[in-house]
Amino acid sequence: MPPTEREHPTAIGRPGLHPAQAVVVGFAGAVIVGTLLLLLPISKGGPGGASLMEALFTATSAVCVTGLTVVDTELFWSPFGRVVIVVLIQIGGLGIMLFASLIGLSIARKLSVRSRMTAAAEAKAVGFSDMKALVLGIVRITLTVEATVSVLLTVRFWLGYGHPIGDAAWYGLFHSVSAFNNAGFSTFSDNLMEFATDPWICLPLAAAIILGGLGFPVIMQLRREFRTPLHWSMNTKLVLWGTVVLVVGGTIYTCVLEWSNLGTFGTMQPAERILAGFFHSVQTRTAGFNSVDIGQMHPGTWLGSDVLMFIGGGPAGTAGGIKLTTFLVLFFIMYTELRGEGAVNIFGKRLSRAVHRQAITIVLLAVAAVSAATAAIMIITGLDLDKVLFEVVSAFATVGLSTGITADLPLSAQAILVALMFIGRLGPLTLGSAIALRQRKILYEFPKERPVIG
């Protein structure tokens, strides 16, 4: 007899709650709890407590693994507040439903059907029959990567910069969690600008960011079938090739525009400029650390970063954006249309037509959200398009890079960014599915007709 909600209280959500709705409710609940914790006087470094917007913005940014801030993380928040932030980052990056499923496994040693459905919806799993192994596998990968990077960073902070071993361990842990979860929060007031030319800091962080941005399905398949690329799924191949092309392309693009910019790369040695360009390109995969002053970059670099941030990383991971697979599916649809072919074929496999509609829907919803938010903030603030667009795309794609205007925005504009971070982390399609009360099955079809296109 299959388990039911009544038999296992660890199930997520009330009876009848759609898995997509459960994911939205879970993330909203985490944001509310995080906000309440950060509102406590003990969370603030100085006297008094944080304002509602300061707490809400920080909690949303942490849960949605964005990294945008309205206050200085190191100076404004107390040690307790920073612990709350890193816990929210870990929960948000791991996934609310996957985290809840892990708790359920710890308590009841099994998952109810609804728990498996909600976890599968969040992990973008094809089925949910073996969700226990999936959840445990994701947790092992997360902890392994974070522990490895944490040790490397701890040693560097301790021996290379003379920090006490306790402080070095804290910095290593905080930044490794922030990196793998693509959050971009830093305990240093200037983020990572002090370490712009240090490969022992930048490269481990970049590795964690790239791994987190690949998505758990890709990492788990590579772990099982690394030596047999012919067995890799279309999703894995798209994410791997897309990541390589965009990271390399972003590095070249950034270096070309910033090479002689005295406000960013201009004072560095050639090898250091390449490192800084590579690190910035990796950050646009939705990580959000900055090793140079983003506000001093060339407007063309901002625009290129907008494109990379909007695309984002792999699905079902810690990255944001519309996702690499969405972008590449649309690219191959365009390529097929230009060649005059019928079916869309990718890596020797035919693409399902249902995926066409999903990709187009996600992109149109994302463009609508970014456009509306950009226009609204420009009307509210009167700021230039390039800076506002960069901030809006960074929020929607849960990146966290900033030209420096977020903290100075009025509360209404900051509230728009909060909404964008929430929408961007969940994905427009997931959020839209959660809002819809039910799926309608149409029992009839209208006659076909073709309008003129182009």
Structural domain count of the chain? 1
In a domain, 170, yes or no: yes
In a domain, 174, yes or no: yes
**Among residues 442, 287, 426, 308, which one has the least CA distance to residue 362?**
426
Confidence category of residue 13, pLDDT binned at 50, 70, 90:
very low
Lowest mean pLDDT among 58-62, 156-160, 433-437: 433-437
Q: pLDDT for 191-247, tens place per residue?
A: 999 999 999 999 999 999 999 889 888 888 888 888 898 889 898 999 999 999 999
Please give the residue that has the higher pLDDT: either 22 or 67: 67
In a domain, 420, yes or no: yes
**pLDDT for the residue numbered 96:** 58
What is the arithmetic mean of pLDDT over 141-148? Answer: 93
Q: Encoding tokens for residue 396?
A: 């929607």
Is it the case that residue 5 has pLDDT exceeding 80? no
In a domain, 67, yes or no: yes
**pLDDT for the residue numbered 6:** 39
In a domain, 437, yes or no: no
Q: Encoding tokens for residue 258?
A: 């910033």
In a domain, 342, yes or no: no
Is it the case that residue 130 has pLDDT exceeding 90? no
Is it the case that residue 10 has pLDDT exceeding 50? no
Element (H or E) spanning 412, and its range? helix 411-426
What is the arithmetic mean of pLDDT over 438-454? Answer: 75
Q: pLDDT for 66-78, tens place per residue?
A: 999 999 999 999 9
303: left (phi over 0), alpha (psi -120 to 50) or beta: alpha
**pLDDT for the residue numbered 125:** 53
**pLDDT for the residue numbered 452:** 82
Is it the case that residue 279 has pLDDT exceeding 90? yes
In a domain, 4, yes or no: no
Q: What percent of the chain has pLDDT over 70?
A: 85
- With b for 16 or more beta-carbon neighbours within 10 A and e for fewer, the 252-279 pattern comes to ebbbebbeebeebbeebeeebbbbbbbb
Q: Encoding tokens for residue 4?
A: 């039911």
What's the mean per-residue pLDDT of the chain? 86
Range of the domain at 279: 19-329+348-432
Is it the case that residue 323 has pLDDT exceeding 80? yes
In a domain, 438, yes or no: no
* Gap between the Cα atoms of 421 and 65, Å rounded: 9
Is it the case that residue 326 has pLDDT exceeding 70? yes
